Amino acid sequence: MLPSVMPMTDNEQVTNTAVTSTEVTSTEMPSAEFACEQTLDASAVFIGLVNPKTPVNVGGIMRASGCYGVDGVFYTGRRYELAARSGAVQYHVDTKDAGERIPLTGVTSLLASIPADTKLICVDLVVGATPLPDFVHPAKAFYVFGPEDGTIGQEIIDKADAVVYVPTVGCMNLAASVNVLLYDRLAKSHREAASLASNISGDELIRQSRDNNNRTRVKVPRAPRKPRHAEASSLESSKVEPSSSDSSIVITAA
């Protein structure tokens, strides 16, 4: 059963899509204590979602989290849970089953879920935000994204250590925004995170990560062959005529 949540806090409610239901009755899963256990390493990445709407986006985010080594995903609101119950199969985007390894936790407050010693980074089209290409990612980050049909609440924005945006023409899909953010983080720290967590890189990492039906490869270009007439002229020029110094002088006795 999906984890349930209590009424939203942190000014995270989306006013035009409020959802109520008596079916959500299970207890809330632990948040901050659970997350703090995963910050022992020098680097840690968490994703926070403000009242996400569709299982397709959440599934896409979980798949991205698996690809880029996210430690945990948190969300507020009830819309995702109720939508996922209507047909989990058609919403199955996380085909790599990253959700089986990475915790997806429903919480009442994203602010209360931020582990200690972790920077709060809001990612949204907010006036005054820093463009993502200019942003330097902290080692430990809790990235918060707004909902598909809204924005991050002002209370969270005010407490953020940084607010960044992706400089696109128009806004991207929620899952796409998470993918871009995580790739930007990886690209800027590729020397430390090239192997993600598996201590492998290069062709071996590609073989492990690609789909089973993917067997394509980059061919090594061959050196261009010389035309036949060029080969013939080269062969002829290699035949050296004997020089006068090679002639032998024979002296016979009278």
Examine residue 115 and state whether it is found in any structural domain, yes or no: yes
State how far the alpha carbon of 52 is from the alpha carbons of 31, 104, 236, 239, in Å: 17, 12, 76, 79
- The reported pLDDT for the residue numbered 5 is 39
For 14, the token pair is 């989306």
Let me know if residue 170 belongs to a domain: yes
**Strand, helix or coil at 187?**
helix
pLDDT for 192-236, tens place per residue?
544 455 566 677 777 777 777 787 778 778 777 777 666 666 556
Q: Give the count of domains, the chain.
A: 1
pLDDT of residue 15: 36
Residue 96 included in any domain: yes
pLDDT the model gives residue 159: 96
Place of tokens 């602010």: 111
| Residue 235 belongs to some domain of the structure | no
Which contiguous run of DSSP H or E holds residue 198? none
Q: Domain range spanning residue 186? A: 41-209
Query: For the purposes of burial, counting CB atoms within 10 Å of the CB of 94, is it exposed (0-12), middle (13-18) or buried (19 or more)?
Result: buried
Ranges of the chain whose pLDDT falls below 50: 1-8, 12-40, 90, 193-195, 245, 254
Q: What is the pLDDT of residue 30?
A: 42
> Partners of 74 in the beta sheet?
48, 105
Report the pLDDT value the prediction gives residue 1, as an integer from 0 to 100: 39
The answer to whether residue 231 is domain-embedded is no
How many Cα neighbours within 13 Å face the side chain of 181?
32
Q: What is the pLDDT of residue 31?
A: 43
- Check the CA dihedral 225-228-230-234 and report its sign: positive
Q: What is the CATH number of the domain that holds 79?
A: 3.40.1280.10
Is position 66 within any domain? yes
> Does residue 59 sit within a domain?
yes
Query: Do 64 and 183 contact (CB within 8 A), yes or no?
Result: no
All residues at 6 or more sequence positions from 64 whose CB lies less than 8 Å from its CB, including other chains: 70, 175, 178, 179, 182
- For residue 188, the tally of other CB atoms under 10 A from its CB is 15
Residue 79 belongs to some domain of the structure:
yes
